[in-house]
Amino acid sequence: MAEQPPFRRPVNTVFQRYALFPHMTIWENVAFGLRMKKQPKDQIDHRVEEALTLVRLERMGKRKPGQLSGGQQQRVALARALVNNPEVLLLDEPLGALDLKLRQAMQDELKRIQKSVGITFIYVTHDQEEALSMSDRIAVMNEGDVLQVDRPYELYEDPKTRFVADFIGETNFLVGKVETNDEQLTHVRLTTGQLAHVPHEEQVLAPGTDVTVAIRPEKIFIGAGQAPDLYNVFHGRVGTVTYLGTDTYYDVLLPNDVEVTARQQNEDYTGTAATAAVGDEVYLAWHAHNANLLTE
Amino acid sequence: MATDSTSMRRRDRLQLGFLVGPTALYLLLFFVIPLGIIFVYSFLKRGVYGQLVWEFNLQNYVRVVDPLYLQIFWRSAVLETASTVGCLLLAYPFAYYIARRESARTRNLLLVLVMIPFWTNFLIRTYAWRVILGTDGPINSFLMWTGLVNEPLTLLFTEGAVLVGLIYGYLPFMVLPLYAAIERIDFSLMEAAADLYANGWQAFRKVLLPLSMPGVIAGCILVFIPSLGAFVTPDLLGGAKTVMIGNLIQGQFLTARDWPFGSAISMLLMVAVLGATLIYFRQGGRTL
């Protein structure tokens, strides 16, 4: 497909602001591509009906785009592209112009339509949550380069670069140097002076290599008192506490002013909003397999 | 409440008077009343010395049917239609080009260039065309120099010369409304058309042209109607052979001193234009 010029590829696009033709009816909008391809009239009629039914707008054919709501216009744009039976459908931030409620409803609708037509959707979005919830596979791009292509959970749990780890979700980055390796773990001397233990990536890194240990806030256990028996246990002092309803964020200061954020779900309300208060000595602990070793 | 609403109504009426009054008064004095005079004149008779004879008759309107005059009307209609179409064909690509410039500075600069000719008197600019098209003018000199022709072509005092002059004179009136209409169009629509397999011509026919139609119509009206009454251009560039309605009317008032007949032609011309415009607005001209 890459050898063909863009206008020959069997790809259709859903534009960011729909770009529906305002002077044509919904029916004419959807029929546009088929008419340009000079399909026989009865086939056009049939396929336009089908496409409008698919997006549940079969009764709106005679209206003009200006008479439809944002969500309905979005669905017309979808029908107008899908009616041409492309091999790939490109959606350029299709829900960007919708408000939150409608966005969520349209996400479900898009998934339903994608399943029923079975066409590959390439979905461009800046909304990481949307990307995670909508996709079978995600490609993270930065300045035109594809950095990583993976299933949503692989991308989140095992980012290969600092950019990807930072772009999708929140992450703590702890800088250090490889000290030693054993069969499963790389031992990293952090700038805090402490030793972190992280599973190898594909390649075992030589001692002395500059690395970054990435650990997500929600994978960190935090508490006062006795730390759990894990490979990675660090002690520090609570800097700030941010209560967010379902979760509380603790910014903990490790030696040399390295700050690590831990996120704890508020599953048990014990009379205070937080497990630890500002200034408390706490432990931070995580399973070795939850951290990632990054070299770039 | 009752007093409130009456005082409101009085204020509204006062406001209406201030906003609309001056224009209404001006139009009444200098348009409606003169038009009424012309209307009345068109039913009078010309005296032996060109004076008005107050004797009601329809003779002026009957005279118009003379083949001599019908020929002038026909020529006018053809020339004006041709000049409107010519303006449209020249102005559309140009207006499109301006509207597609990204920097506002470039767009404004180009629009100013369109309007610069207005800074020079129309009569002088039309005389300039006489020089350009003349026997010793630059066009003929060039053609002779290249050897394409052996003797100068007759360019001046032809219908072609009048057409060139009319197009030249009214081109800006076509460019400006077209630009305003095209500039408003969302160009992602053209991308969408291309994505849906339209080639350049189809995208133009199905999307750009229909969406710029208000500008096309406004431009055509702005060019066609004033060119109906044009008399300077045909006079200077067409000479005695290419008489148009404007010249005919002018001649009746100034040369033949037959004011009633001139008035009658004026009235007919006005009714024709009004009728055409009304038909247009009835036939889905809602876009304007």
Three-class SS string for chain B?
A: CHHHHHHHHHHHHHHHHHHHHHHHHHHHHHHHHHHHHHHHHCCCEECCCCCEECCCCCHHHHHCCCHHHHHHHHHHHHHHHHHHHHHHHHHHHHHHHHHHCCCHHHHHHHHHHHHHHHHCCHHHHHHHHHHHHCCCCHHHHHHHHHCCCCCCCCCCCCHHHHHHHHHHHHHHHHHHHHHHHHHCCCCHHHHHHHHCCCCHHHHHHHHHHHHHHHHHHHHHHHHHHHHHCCCHHHHHHHCCCCCCHHHHHHHHHHCCCCHHHHHHHHHHHHHHHHHHHHHHHHCCCCCC
User: What is the predicted pLDDT for the residue at B107?
Assistant: 94
- Chain A: closest CA distance from residue B184 (Å): 13
Write out pLDDT tens, residues A70-94: 889 999 999 999 999 999 999 998 8
Q: B202 to chain A: nearest residue by CA?
A: A36
User: What is the predicted pLDDT for the residue at A287?
Assistant: 93
Are B128 and B259 within 8 A, CB to CB?
A: no
User: What is the predicted pLDDT for the residue at A65?
Assistant: 94
Out of A272-286, B90-104, B218-232, the most confident range is: B90-104
* Beta carbons of B192 and A37 less than 8 Å apart: no
* Beta carbons of A84 and B192 less than 8 Å apart: no
As a whole-number percent, the residues of chain B with pLDDT over 90 amount to 49
User: What is the predicted pLDDT for the residue at A241?
Assistant: 92
Say what the ipTM of the complex is: 0.76
Least confident of A44-48, A66-70, A99-103: A99-103
Residue A229: pLDDT band by 50, 70, 90 thresholds? confident
pLDDT at residue B1 tops 50: no
User: What is the predicted pLDDT for the residue at A149?
Assistant: 93
State mean pLDDT over A138-147.
91
User: What is the predicted pLDDT for the residue at A240?
Assistant: 92
* Beta carbons of A22 and B197 less than 8 Å apart: no
Contacts with B, A 97-126, CB within 8 Å? none
Residue A2: pLDDT band by 50, 70, 90 thresholds? low
Q: What value does the CA radius of gyration of chain A take, rounded to a whole number of Å?
A: 26
**Nearest neighbour of B195 by CB, restricted to A13, A23, A37:** A13
* Beta carbons of A37 and B197 less than 8 Å apart: yes
Interface of B with A (CB under 8 A): 186, 188-189, 191-198, 202, 206-207, 210-211
Candidates B184, B185, B196, B201, partner chain A, best to mutate (most A CBs within 10 A)? B196
User: What is the predicted pLDDT for the residue at A66?
Assistant: 93
* Beta carbons of A23 and B210 less than 8 Å apart: yes
A249 contact B CB<8A: no
* Beta carbons of A21 and B193 less than 8 Å apart: yes
pLDDT at residue B238 tops 60: yes
**Alpha helices per DSSP H over A215-256:** none
* Beta carbons of B196 and A15 less than 8 Å apart: no
Write out pLDDT tens, residues B146-205: 888 888 888 888 889 999 999 999 999 999 999 999 999 999 999 999 999 999 999 999
Residue B288: pLDDT band by 50, 70, 90 thresholds? very low
**Nearest neighbour of A36 by CB, restricted to B186, B189, B197:** B197
Write out pLDDT tens, residues B139-163: 988 988 888 888 888 888 888 999 9
State mean pLDDT over B49-71.
89
State mean pLDDT over A195-202.
87
User: pTM to 2 decimals?
Assistant: 0.77
pLDDT averaged over every residue in chain A: 89
Greatest extent of chain A over all pairs of C-alpha atoms, in Å: 77
**Nearest neighbour of A33 by CB, restricted to B189, B196, B210:** B196
State mean pLDDT over A108-133.
89
CB pairs under 8 A between A and B: 45
